Structure 1
Amino acid sequence: MRVLVTGATGFVGRRLVPALLDAGHDVVALVRDASRYTGPEEVEIVEGDLLDSATLAPAMDGVEAAYYLVHSMRSGGDFESRDRLAARSFVEAADAAGVQRVVYLGGLGEERDRLSPHLRSRREVEHLLASGSFELTTLRAAIIVGAGSASFDMVQQLAKRLPVMVTPQWVETKCQPIAIDDVVAYLVGVLDHPETAGETYEIGGPDVLTYHEMLQRVGAHLGHSPRIVPVPVLTPRLSSYWIGLVTDVDTDVARPLIEGLKNPVVVTDDRIRDIVSVDETSFDEAIERALHEESERTTVPIESKTEAP
């Protein structure tokens, strides 16, 4: 099957592309700058911008299925209007090209729980994609655990750097994290099951934890467990400033992440497990994999340390 991946250079997309190739699909990667793409050689690279529907036709040519993996990750400005415009441009181009299926990775969370602005925007994108002529499969996930995940990076850095942590009340919110490998397995798997077309599924790992528990588990893997003291007075804005001070996470990224942490994100409908077979990864195993991958990325080869004579 000829498959288009938007967001091919992102945290999920760069792992999804080789998995689709391994599954026997022909993959087209939509990127804004082809010179910066470092994916597999077998991938067809097409430049385009989701904010400009006129640039999307070449990427959609002959495509049978497409993955929509694009979201604004910063606060402020008009991120909602950008998300809206990108989704509408994608729908227009996909319908014009006769794309048959689209797979969208959205976020868990019940609308009755007053979703954060970014989770609301993800849900709006989901509704906009559903307006297309193609059949939409939506997978909703909570925190995705892996090297390069903004949410997991924030948790990891907090657990690593602070022996004592004064935190907002959101640390007691329940979450069902999922390993990046499992997310990719579900994303690839739904294409092999025509019955998933037009359906929405919730995906999660085997562990349901509070953020408090997640911080302590991550801390244990790093060699210590932070002491956590929840207080009710830290607003999302203050919390984002605090995270910006003690971690490398940009304040503009931290704020939308924190705003989303007030919403419980737990799977309530696990039908997908009966359709797509995935060997679920425990939270602890997902942590180990993420830390190992990060260690491999940051290790400097011995040869590179040798100075020239």
Structure 2
Amino acid sequence: MGVLVTGATGFIGGRLTPALAGAGYDIRALVRDADGYDPDTSVDVAEGDLLDPASLAGVFDGIDTAYYLVHSMRAGDDFAERDRRAARNFAAAADAAGVDRVIYLGGLGEEGTDLSDHLESRREVEAVLAGAAFDLTTLRAAVVVGAGSASFELVFQLVDRLPVMITPKWVQTPCQPIAVADVIAYLRGVLETPATAGNTYEIGGPDVLSYKSMLERTATLAGQRLLLVPVPVLTPTLSTYWVDLVTDVPRSVAHPLIHGLKHPVVVTDDRIQDLVDVSLTPFDDAAANALRERGVAADE
């Protein structure tokens, strides 16, 4: 089976590509700069840019299933427009080549009109892909816990640099984080489960936590003391200012994420568990693994 991974150099794609190659799949990785990419020798590397349709010529040839793991938040405030164009170009090229199936990792959260810009863009990309001829499988996840995750990097840098935090009330918002290893397991699992084609599933770890609890648990694991003081007058917008001052996470990434924190992100449909068997990792174990990978000794 020919499998294409877009976003192969990213946080998820960089882990999924070797996992699939090691499982014996014929993998092609789409990257914008092949010179800066050094995969397993079994991986076929294709150079192209989803924002440039002409560069995609031949990329989808011989591909049965493609993973869409691309987003443009690091590109700046116009990330939604870039994501929209990239998804349209991808869908057109995949349809033209006769790709049977696409697997997309989107965002978990409530339906409705009051979505954060980040989640609204994720849903728009999902709609673009769903309108193509191929069968789309969508996995929706909230905070992915792992070294290199923008969300977890925010959490770690805050507890590492701010022993006392004046926080907005959204720190009490419930969230269902998931370990990056479990996300990879689900992404591979749906590929190997044809019944998941054409469906949307929510994925999350075994723990539903407030952001306050995630901050406190991460601080404990990192050997840090932390005092949180939630106040009702501090809004997510104001919070972005001190996040910019304290962390080095790009504001184009941090701001959309923070504005989305007021919405609960909890799995309400666990059908995926009946189709794909994944032994879910508790938050503390996932965070400890992420800290060790980041070079921080985790207290267990």
TM value normalised by structure 2:
0.96
Match of 2:62 in 1: 62
Contact preservation (8 Å) 2:4, 2:30 = yes
Deviations, residues 47-95 of structure 1 (Å, cap 9, x unaligned): 1110112211321010000000011224853221111100000000000
* Greater displacement, 160-169 / 262-271: 160-169
* TM-aligned CA deviation for residue 144 of structure 1: 0.2
Match of 1:140 in 2: 140
- 1:254, 1:192 → 2: CA distance? 34
Give aligned-pair identity as a percent: 65
Match of 1:305 in 2: none
**CA gap 1:228/1:247 in 2 versus in 1, 3 angstroms:** same
Q: Within 5 Å, which residues of 2 pair with 1:104-143? A: 104-112=104-112, 114-143=114-143
SS of structure 1 residue aligned to 2:27: strand
* Greater displacement, 248-257 / 82-91: 248-257
* TM-aligned CA deviation for residue 257 of structure 1: 1.1
- 2:65, 2:221 → 1: CA distance? 39
* Greater displacement, 55-64 / 136-145: 55-64
- 2:280, 2:94 → 1: CA distance? 33
* Greater displacement, 241-250 / 74-83: 74-83
SS of structure 1 residue aligned to 2:59: helix
Match of 1:272 in 2: 272
Match of 2:207 in 1: 207
* TM-aligned CA deviation for residue 113 of structure 1: 6.7
- 2:257, 2:42 → 1: CA distance? 35
* Greater displacement, 255-264 / 242-251: 242-251
Q: Within 5 Å, which residues of 2 pair with 1:74-113? A: 74=74, 77-112=77-112
Residues 1:21 and 2:25 aligned together: no
State the Cα RMSD in Å. Answer: 1.5
- 2:161, 2:12 → 1: CA distance? 26
Aligned residues: 297
Paired residue type of 1:248? D
Residues 1:72 and 2:79 aligned together: no
Match of 1:306 in 2: none
Residues 1:281 and 2:281 aligned together: yes
Match of 1:12 in 2: 12
Match of 2:32 in 1: 32
Match of 1:189 in 2: 189
Contact preservation (8 Å) 1:75, 1:256 = no
Which runs of no fewer than 5 residues in structure 2 stay unpaired?
none
- 2:290, 2:226 → 1: CA distance? 19
Deviations, residues 14-62 of structure 1 (Å, cap 9, x unaligned): 0000111122211101011100112222111111110112211321010
Match of 2:153 in 1: 153
Which runs of no fewer than 5 residues in structure 1 stay unpaired?
297-309
- 2:252, 2:236 → 1: CA distance? 11
Match of 2:173 in 1: 173
Contact preservation (8 Å) 2:99, 2:134 = yes
Paired residue type of 1:88? R
- 1:51, 1:113 → 2: CA distance? 27
Contact preservation (8 Å) 1:241, 1:251 = no
Deviations, residues 105-124 of structure 1 (Å, cap 9, x unaligned): 00001122711011001001
Deviations, residues 132-156 of structure 1 (Å, cap 9, x unaligned): 1100000000000000000000001
